[in-house]
Structure 1
C-alpha cells in the first residue's frame, strides 16, 4: 500500500510538473511493486521482485532531470518557439528517445532487395514514425501507422489490409493483424476526418501506440520477402 501510494504521489507530481510531456505515462508504465496482500508476509521471491522494481523506479527518477530537458527540447511547440526566437526558417531537433519501430527491423528491411517491391517508402514511413514519437507528434503517429498498414497488402498478395488480416497466417497472427487494422484505422480516422470543435483533447501515446502489432507485421513482411529470395 505504501509502495502504491508512493507511485501515485510521484505520478501526480509528474503530471503537474510536466503536463502533456508523456513523462507521467512512462512512470506509470514501469514495473509494479507487488508484495502481496497487506496481511501476508511476502516470500523471498516477492521481495526480490519488489526490490528490482523499486531500484528500476529509483534509476528512472535519477535520470528524470536529463529526460525532462531533452523532452522539453523536442516537444513540437518548443521546437517552433526556438525557431521563431532565432528568426530562422528551420527547426532543430535534439532527439533521444525509445524507438516505436525497432531500428533492427528497419535495418532488416533495408537489407532486403525484393524484385517485386520497392521498400523505400515503407522504410521511410517507419523512420518518420520514430521521429514522430521522439517529438511527441502523436497525431502524426496515428496517421503514419495507418499509412504503413495501407501500404503493405501487395506484399501479402492482397488488395487491402482487411484481406490480409482475414486470410494470412494462423489464429494468433490473424488476431494481431485484425487488431492493427481496426485500431489504426479507427484512431487515424478519428483525427483525420473530425471537424474542429469548441474543445479538443489531444491524443496521448497510449492512444496511438500500435508498436507491438506493428512489429509483428514488419517481422512477417521480412519473413515473406526473405523466403521469396529478396535477400
Structure 2
C-alpha cells in the first residue's frame, strides 16, 4: 500500500517525542500524524470502515499542555501509540480480507464466475465469543431447546465478519426477543425491568431500548431519496449481549 511505510516511520519517530517532549508538542504532533493517516485511509481505502476504526483508537497524549507528565503517563501514551502502529502494520492483510468478504465483493465474485453461489474468505473477531457459544451448546435443559439461540449467535458473528451491519441489528433484536421465557417472562422489557441488580438491569435495558430502537429503525424504515448505512459503532451491542448470554448460562446450568 503506497505511502504506508512513510506513515509508519513518522509514527515510530513520534515515540521520541512521547518519551521526552512537552505535552503541547506531543499533542500537536500526534494530532497531525493521526490526521495525515486519516486522510491517507480515506483516499486509499474509501468506504471500508477503516477510517472509523482509526478515529476510534485511544488518544496519544501526555496530559495538560502546561503540566509535567509522569513516567507512567508517558508509558501509557507510548502503549497507545504502539496500538496505532500495530493497527497500521496489519492494515494490508485486513484490507485484503475485507475486500474478499464484504457483501458487494462476495456477490460480485459469484456473478463474475457465472454461478449462483457465493464464496466467503474471511477472518474476523467474534461479536459473540466462541467460548460463550460453546457454553450454551453444552447446556442440557429439559425446558428449553437452545438450538435457535445458538444459531442466531453464530449468524451474528458471520454478519459481523462480512460487514452485514443491517443484519447485525436485526439478529441482535431477534436474540433479545427469543429469550424472555428463560427468565420466566413474556417480553424482554419485563426481563430488563425486573431481573437482577442495578448493573445487570442497565445492560439489559440497553438491549431493550437502544439496540431495539436501532433494529426497528432499519427494519421498518421505508426507502428514501438519500440513505446513510449503519456502521459497526451503531450496531455493536456485544458487551451487553455477552452479559445477557452469561446470565442464561448461569440460569440453565444449575
TM-score, scaled relative to structure 2: 0.87
Higher RCO (Cα < 8 Å, 6 or more apart): 1
Structure 2 residue 167 is the aligned partner of structure 1 residue 145: no
Alignment partners' CA distance in 2, 1:162 and 1:15: 41
Equivalent of residue 101 in structure 1, options 128, 134, 143: 128
Alignment partners' CA distance in 2, 1:29 and 1:176: 22
Note the alpha carbon deviations across 1:3-28, whole angstroms, 9 max, x for none: 12222322232233222222122222
Matched with 1:59 is: 86
**What are the residue-to-residue correspondences of 1:19-168 with 2, within 5 Å?**
19-168=46-195
Alignment partners' CA distance in 2, 1:87 and 1:226: 49
Q: CA deviation at 1:95?
A: 1.0
Alignment partners' CA distance in 2, 1:12 and 1:116: 55
Matched with 1:209 is: 236
Alignment partners' CA distance in 2, 1:124 and 1:132: 12
**What are the residue-to-residue correspondences of 1:214-229 with 2, within 5 Å?**
214-227=241-254
- Shift >4 Å, 4+ stretches: none
TM-score, scaled relative to structure 1: 0.95
Q: For residue 253 of structure 2, give the secondary structure of its aligned residue in structure 1.
A: helix
Q: CA deviation at 1:179?
A: 1.1
Unaligned runs of 5+ in 2: 1-26
Q: CA deviation at 1:77?
A: 0.4
Q: Which of the two has higher C-alpha Rg?
A: 2
Q: CA deviation at 1:38?
A: 2.0
Matched with 2:33 is: 6
Q: CA deviation at 1:60?
A: 1.1
Unaligned runs of 5+ in 1: none
Q: For residue 63 of structure 1, give the secondary structure of its aligned residue in structure 2.
A: helix
Alignment partners' CA distance in 1, 2:113 and 2:183: 48
The alignment yields a C-alpha RMSD, in angstroms, of: 1.1
Note the alpha carbon deviations across 1:159-196, whole angstroms, 9 max, x for none: 00000001100111111111111112111111111110
